Structure 1
């Protein structure tokens, strides 16, 4: 069963809830843990997967440091402070940098400026592989910074959002929303949609003016319920799915839903127990629930198009849809391809035997996965 750390916001009395959940998680990893579903052989010649290139970046430890693609560059970071830019078509190294500290969040880039955050809560921005500036932050960061419009946006674990000038490092604004004292130590939602910065703040999706930091709209995707703070935790988890003006996200262990992000209109919300992000392609929204059941929802109304239970309890990553396939990685380092139309297995390919972390990312017509051991693998399918 998947486990997820919780983070208390200041008061020591909140620690007991986090420790209790950690103890329960430790129990779930014992002999009573559900066994992974045995792998089936995909249909013969359904899809042919080609390995394009592989690289290594170093130890990722426990962090799902998802890479980001900008044009023909793939930029990624490792938990021990390495930042690397690769050519997407060949895997050729373009530049490599050392931040000098362990990282707490993934990487953001616009192709010129690249941002990461250290475990000491320091925002570090690189320019052409060299450190341009640093800024100390007051709250812990687990969500990758967003670099867009000559700004660096940071979403903190206390649900605050901050904006910095990408060139100078000057702080432009901060936006703080009230929230529950217990927070999820897992990457959240932060992305641009036209002229709006969209961020998850608790169970709500919020549209923020990127120039001023004012809230334009906010829409709840879930209504937290429960008898204690742990049960009521419903923060939105990343990555979010986006197609055009529609953003789809998952509320931790509560719901999945889609919002029209120009005006802030809830399109639909469906109950779903899960903790990994979504992918949207305009027709369907793909997600993995807490038992590793893969589901495709119709993006228009949230009705279920298909569900696959062939990979239950295999520790699946968030999904990616590419070509005719939905791509997910698992805890044993396998990458699985399912039919985009009906969820039937199409192909399976191995990486390095360690868990696929984060979500696969699209790089042109190929996709890239990163493993716990620091392997970077690019594939395509025909």
Structure 2
């Protein structure tokens, strides 16, 4: 699903537009060919113009920038992110290039697969393994030191999110609802786990994430979270987060596209249909359920849970009670990335390549940094903030405060 489609659906949810014909919505949602031509034009919200900051502090400083060839539509859908272990970066472009750099920006190796990459990069420094997935459903593992291909295997469905590499498993979430556990050594399929796949969903999937050392957390298009044993693929439990609302299939989409967050014994997840869930992992009880619709993972501090919504609002909730503490609408309709905690601040990227830094206390914007192209995903790791924009520019900043 492209940017315009996601915007159309988000605006319909946010502003309560008059009912649009079902056939017209389906044409927009799944980009059917010219057969569907008569649709009503929804109201288009212009991105809010940025105002100059009265005072600005320096939160990060640039380290280096590079560029990798992207085909913009694929890059937008798949929200490519940079693989990073603190010293080495591995990046992939949707056009087929995979490249590695050290933290100073020196190119270490480059490989051209000559095929569209759709799954972004998973990079595990401990096993020196980087993994990407392609349009033809190939899973390819690289030696991250040399750039040589260790193995490649074919699976049944396309994978649009980076894999999870843990111990001796590579975990993949297929866009068709099938999850895979592969051998890290050989790429052989050890297990498969099938989930229910709705007839219509947002194109994209959440990255698998660790719940604990034995359990992988999988978020699916039917609005559920599944806890699955990493070694065997045996399901342990599941919980619904996204709750269908509205009359049409489009309105009732419940995807969880933002990777769930596990922090200090709590689980946080947000759905496309508008539910923010917090759960206590020790008891399995829901701590709170609040209204927030997003495709992005949340950011968590000691006191707050931060969400960037479909309409570009940044919201902060108490992580204890779920009470909304503040919201910032200064970036409305700027197609915000996930929020990311950077030191004492919250960073969000936008459609113009601007990274905004907000105070977690009141949500005020205190600083900005510039990249080039729409920012779909921010990653903060080992004191560095990294992003890969829709145009393929990779930028690395170092935290200074």
Name the TM-score, length of structure 1 as normaliser.
0.88
Question: Which residue is equivalent to 1:166?
Answer: 184
The whole-number CA distance in structure 1 between the counterparts of 2:309 and 2:4 is 10
The whole-number CA distance in structure 2 between the counterparts of 1:23 and 1:132 is 37
Return 5+ residue gaps in structure 1 as ranges: 7-13
Query: Alpha carbons of 1:206 and 1:266: their partners in 2 closer, same or farther (altered >3 Å)?
Result: farther
Contact 1:278–1:319 under 8 Å retained in 2:
yes
Question: Which residue is equivalent to 1:362?
Answer: 380
Number of residues of Structure 1 aligned to a counterpart in Structure 2: 371
Q: 1:274 deviation in Å?
A: 2.7
1:74 counterpart (73, 89, 93):
89
SS of 1:229's partner is: coil
2:246 counterpart (226, 232, 244):
226
Query: Alpha carbons of 1:29 and 1:275: their partners in 2 closer, same or farther (altered >3 Å)?
Result: farther
The whole-number CA distance in structure 1 between the counterparts of 2:270 and 2:94 is 25
Q: 1:344 deviation in Å?
A: 0.6
Question: Which residue is equivalent to 1:3?
Answer: 5
State whether structure 2 residue 34 is matched by structure 1 residue 19. Answer: no
Question: Which residue is equivalent to 1:294?
Answer: 314
Query: Alpha carbons of 1:245 and 1:94: their partners in 2 closer, same or farther (altered >3 Å)?
Result: farther
Question: Which residue is equivalent to 1:53?
Answer: 64
SS of 2:52's partner is: coil
1:143 counterpart (161, 175, 186):
161
Question: Which residue is equivalent to 1:9?
Answer: none
Q: 1:142 deviation in Å?
A: 1.2
2:205 counterpart (187, 190, 198):
187
2:115 counterpart (76, 98, 101):
101
SS of 2:162's partner is: coil
- The structure carrying a bigger strand percent of its residues is 1
The whole-number CA distance in structure 1 between the counterparts of 2:322 and 2:182 is 36
Q: How does 1:211-290 map to 2 (within 5 A)?
A: 211-261=231-281, 264-290=284-310
Q: How does 1:23-38 map to 2 (within 5 A)?
A: 32-38=43-49
SS of 1:291's partner is: coil
State whether structure 2 residue 140 is matched by structure 1 residue 121. Answer: no
Question: Which residue is equivalent to 1:345?
Answer: 365
The whole-number CA distance in structure 2 between the counterparts of 1:66 and 1:29 is 35
Name the TM-score, length of structure 2 as normaliser.
0.84
The whole-number CA distance in structure 2 between the counterparts of 1:370 and 1:144 is 14
SS of 1:311's partner is: coil
Return 5+ residue gaps in structure 2 as ranges: 9-21
Question: Which residue is equivalent to 2:151?
Answer: 133
Q: 1:19 deviation in Å?
A: 2.1
State whether structure 2 residue 211 is matched by structure 1 residue 196. Answer: no
